[in-house]
Chains A and B, each alone.
Chain A
Amino acid sequence: GAVVSQHPSRVICKSGTSVKIECRSLDFQATTMFWYRQFPKKSLMLMATSNEGSKATYEQGVEKDKFLINHASLTLSTLTVTSAHPEDSSFYICSAPLTGADTQYFGPGTRLTVL
């Protein structure tokens, strides 16, 4: 099966700092990757669609200047939470489909805690 990794798995930072989360497709190339946010005991909320070689597409209500997405290569997308605040604390998960396929494979998630 397709494998997606995320780094780091956990991060704790101070309010006002920026945090970068990496999402990598390990055994396949992904022209598209998706970034989700998940609150406790809630389902996944799509934040943005990351496209290799072009700008990310953000969902309504998601601040693009706060959540910077860069799809640097066919195997790497990064999410940077800028000037993080406690309300940004959450579980962030990325996913990627195999090229030409519909099934999305998810990373293990990154737990962000902002103090």
Chain B
Amino acid sequence: EDQVTQSPEALRLQEGESSSLNCSYTVSGLRGLFWYRQDPGKGPEFLFTLYSAGEEKEKERLKATLTKKESFLHITAPKPEDSATYLCAVLSGSSNTGKLIFGQGTTLQVKP
């Protein structure tokens, strides 16, 4: 069964304190792994798509990496505005529906 697990559930950081969020997955042939940011009361905002192990993508203070079993979202010198819930999702290669499997999310709070 396809499954996505994110850890930790919640993370509190001081401004400038770098850290990483983890997304572990089991899927029958990974077609894509997606990171989204969600602010309270809003829809998820697309961040990154990763397709193959070893791939990395960056956007401002965020960097996403991918291995055959997990993905990390590295946050370098975070700011309070980075506070949000970060969602990881995978798309199975056996899917013909485009259905994403979501993790439970990591809620990040960055204190000034």
Binding site for B on A (CB under 8 A): 1, 4, 6, 32, 34, 41-44, 46, 49, 57, 91, 93, 95, 97, 102-109, 111
Contact = CB atoms under 8 A, between A and B. Distances in A.
Q: 4 tightest CB-CB pairs across the interface, nearest first?
A: A106-B43, A109-B43, A106-B44, A102-B32
Interface string B11-52: 000000000000000000001101010000111111001000
Interface of chain A, main secondary structure = strand
Categorize the interface residue count of chain B.
20 to 34
Main secondary structure of the interface of B (DSSP, over half): strand
Contacts, number: 55
A46 B100 CA distance: 8
A93 B99 contact: no
Interface stretch (B66-74, B76-84, B101-109): B101-109
B49 A103 contact: yes
Given A49-B97, A106-B45, A107-B43, 5 more contacts: A43-B87, A97-B98, A109-B41, A109-B43, A111-B41
B64 interface: no
B99 A46 contact: yes
A34 B43 CA distance: 13
B91 interface: yes
Contacts of B41: 91, 109, 111
A93 B107 CA distance: 19
